[in-house]
Amino acid sequence: MEFDLSLWAWTAVFAISASVVVAAGIVLAQAGDAIATRTGLGGLFVGMLLMAAATSLPEVVTDVSAALAGAPDLAVGDLFGSSMANMAILAIIDLAYGRRVWPTIGLGHARLAAVAIGLTAFVLMAIVSPVRLQIGWIGLESLAVVAAYVVAAWWMRHPTGAPSAAQPRLAAAREDLLTPTGWGARASALPVRVHLLRFAAAAGVILISAPFVAQSAKGIAEETGIAQTFVGVTLLALATSLPELVASIAAVRIGAHDLAVGNLFGSNAFNMTIVLFVDAAYVEGPVLAAVSPLQLLPGLGAVVLMAIALGAIVQGTTTRLRRGEPDAVLLLLAYVGLLLLAWNAAA
């Protein structure tokens, strides 16, 4: 539904709806870490699945709406732009907390980052592929991405092979993958079902509030004259990434570093599965065949940013030091540079 509001009205809608998402994001972080602690699943696994799925609800709602409105570029651009924004968030939380985040997380995040990079690269190849296979109007590439995500989730939860004394880093990665963060046990002795209900309620609030955040961001863009082709990668992506930002900051504040980083990389992986929902909503044909080749820029940008973050995390989990390397700063500079490239391409 479209509304004709002034810039000030759109700004007010954005502020109110964003505040609601902030509050729900904090509850998500607390409930998610409690679930990780009480079930023994661990911060990385819960961050990859529960947190990533819940904080990606804004992308699902917004991008399906865009596809139904016949705007596939807006939908897919939001997914790539959100993945870029999540890596900027990763850099921000590391800088904001004295570079203590990356050196304290498990090496298992490297595998999760590799999954996110692989899924994003697969979607990019599907965009440029001259071969189009489909079932009805849905491309087989969209189904393949979801199947790959399911296999990756199983792989992350059940690592294969036995770690040996000659493989201390592999053993450490598996220990971090399965070890709960511990915050939930200290915070509450409530039953797991209570935390699951809190988690579901917070996710529901995000699901309701997210369309207002996205629509108001789009309204602000239109009132200020920002090009519509730039909205998906920037303003819309930043708006729909707000839950990831708030939930990750809240998780870091309570000491759940694995939950925070797992949420960000997990959201990037989950973002690619949203292509199937967008494809189902876009009934004119496979959505990846309908988008502009300009989508390669934010897609490759997301891959580059995740590669930088992956290298920084591997270095941090290996040294376990409070480092002075400019990893986070480089990540932010690369993000800003990619936004400028996207602006020039859209102009």
Sequence spans of domains, the chain:
7-346
What was the pLDDT predicted at 272?
95
Q: 320 by DSSP, 3-state: which?
A: coil
168-215 per-position pLDDT tens digit: 443 443 344 334 444 444 445 678 888 889 888 988 888 888 788 877
Give the Cα separation of 103 and 323 in Å (integer): 8
- Is pLDDT larger for residue 176 or for residue 228? 228
Higher-confidence residue: 321 or 333?
Answer: 333
DSSP SS3 for 139: strand
| pLDDT given at position 299 | 94
**What's the pLDDT band for 80 if we cut at 50, 70, 90?**
very high
Q: Taking Cα atoms as reference points, which of 150, 151, 183, 153 lies closest to residue 45?
A: 153
Q: Using 50, 70 and 90 to split pLDDT, how confident is the model at 233?
A: confident
Q: Provide the pLDDT for residue 169.
A: 40
pLDDT at 21 > cutoff 90: no
pLDDT-wise least confident of 67-76, 104-113, 297-306? 104-113
The rounded mean pLDDT for the chain is: 78
| pLDDT tens, residue by residue, 26-65 | 787 777 767 766 666 555 555 556 677 777 878 888 888 8
Beta bridge partners, 138, equal 135
Token pair in block for residue 267: 């959201």
| SS3 assignment, position 94 | helix
CA 46 to CA 73: how far, in whole Å?
Answer: 31
Q: Determine the pLDDT at residue 2.
A: 58
pLDDT beyond 50 at 166? no
**Is residue 103 pLDDT above 90, yes or no?**
no
Task: Give the relative orientation of helices 296-319 and 257-281 as an angle to the nearest 10 degrees.
Answer: 160
> What is the predicted pLDDT for the residue at 177?
39
Return the percentage of the chain with pLDDT > 70, whole number: 77
Say whether pLDDT at 304 is over 80: yes
More reliable by pLDDT, 113 or 32? 113
Residue 262, amino acid: G
**pLDDT of the residue at 89:** 92
The separation between CA 252 and the C-alpha centre of its own chain, rounded to angstroms, equals 16
Please report the pLDDT score of residue 106 as a whole number: 67
The pLDDT, as a whole number, for residue 184 is: 44
Whether 240 shows a pLDDT value over 70: the answer reads yes
Q: What is the mean pLDDT of residues 333-340?
A: 92
Structure-model confidence comparison of residues 184 and 127, the more confident one: 127
Angle between helix axes 168-178 and 108-128 (nearest 10 degrees) is 80
Four-residue CA torsion sign, 192, 152, 24, 253: positive
Q: Which residue has the higher pLDDT, 39 or 152?
A: 152
- The pLDDT assigned to 179 comes to 43
**Residue 286 pLDDT:** 93
CATH architecture of the domain with range 7-346: Up-down Bundle (1.20)
